[in-house]
Structure 1
Amino acid sequence: MNVTVRGHQGILIVMRFLRMTGPFCRNCGVALCREMTGSTLWQGWWSPFSLFLFTPFTLIWNLVVRIKLNKLQAPIPGQPGPQLDPGTPLYRRPAVLGALIPVLWFLFVTYRSMSGA
């Protein structure tokens, strides 16, 4: 299936947009989606526009791609060419802790506004 998996890195003022497009089998697509989504969760929040716009869009895009990839059948053993190992699920990787960054930012702003600072 032809899909585009996206990644995003917010670097204070500068942003970097990543993407990989191609015909992926289920295993290769899931592996790539997990890797790029994990990187985005960890590195995507570090600029103002990234925090509110680009990182959430990228995460939603990859979620839609992942749903499409899950509909594919698993590759048959013995197919030609190497296949990527999907690895551990995203929720079991350390990069998922990057999802706490916007939550902590929101709590910090809320605390500061309530304390009158």
Structure 2
Amino acid sequence: MRFSSVSGPFCQPCGTSIFRDLSGKTLWQGWWSPLSLVLFTPATLIVNRVALARLNKLPPPIPGQPGPQLMLGVPVLRRLSSLAAVVPLVWAIWMIARIANGTA
């Protein structure tokens, strides 16, 4: 298990780009232990979403600002890595259905 974070002064597009990258990695790599499946991955995704809400309140970058700006990239739910989230979702639905039918 590994937790990653990125800190620093970000403009809105750079912060959004980092949010998308880290959330995509969380969706792909975050589900592979039982504790992560139930606790850590959902909590991490919620924390990432709260950080994105704060980033969205930042003003857009000023033209001529020093340093390169990151490309926004593809939105999180349109990335191939987000399909990995379907596996635990299907498992959870299967388990709930078994419990509801009394076969668990």
Structure 1 length as normaliser, TM-score? Answer: 0.78
Matched residue, 2:11: 25
Deviation at 1:82, TM superposition (A): 0.7
Matches within 5 A, 1:2-81: 15-81=1-67
Q: Which amino acid aligns with 1:25?
A: C
Identical columns (%):
53
Q: How far apart, CA to CA, are the structure 2 residues paired with 1:107 and 1:80?
A: 49
**Per residue, is there more helix in 1 or in 2?**
2
Deviation at 1:111, TM superposition (A): 5.3
Deviation at 1:42, TM superposition (A): 1.0
Output one character per residue of 1:84-111: Cα deviation in whole Å (capped at 9) or x when no partner: 1111211221122122122111133345
Q: How far apart, CA to CA, are the structure 2 residues paired with 1:65 and 1:99?
A: 20
Q: Which amino acid aligns with 1:24?
A: F
Q: How far apart, CA to CA, are the structure 1 residues paired with 2:80 and 2:30?
A: 15
Deviation at 1:25, TM superposition (A): 1.1
**Per residue, is there more strand in 1 or in 2?**
1
Q: Which runs of 5+ in 2 are unaligned?
A: none
The alignment of Structure 1 onto Structure 2 pairs a total of residues equal to 103
* Higher deviation after alignment, 88-97 or 52-61: 88-97
Q: Which has the higher contact order (CA 8 A, sep 6+)?
A: 2
Q: Which runs of 5+ in 1 are unaligned?
A: 1-14
Equivalent of residue 97 in structure 1, options 61, 69, 83: 83
Output one character per residue of 1:53-86: Cα deviation in whole Å (capped at 9) or x when no partner: 1001100000000001011111122211111111
Q: Which amino acid aligns with 2:90?
A: L
Structure 2 length as normaliser, TM-score? Answer: 0.87
Q: Which amino acid aligns with 1:16?
A: R
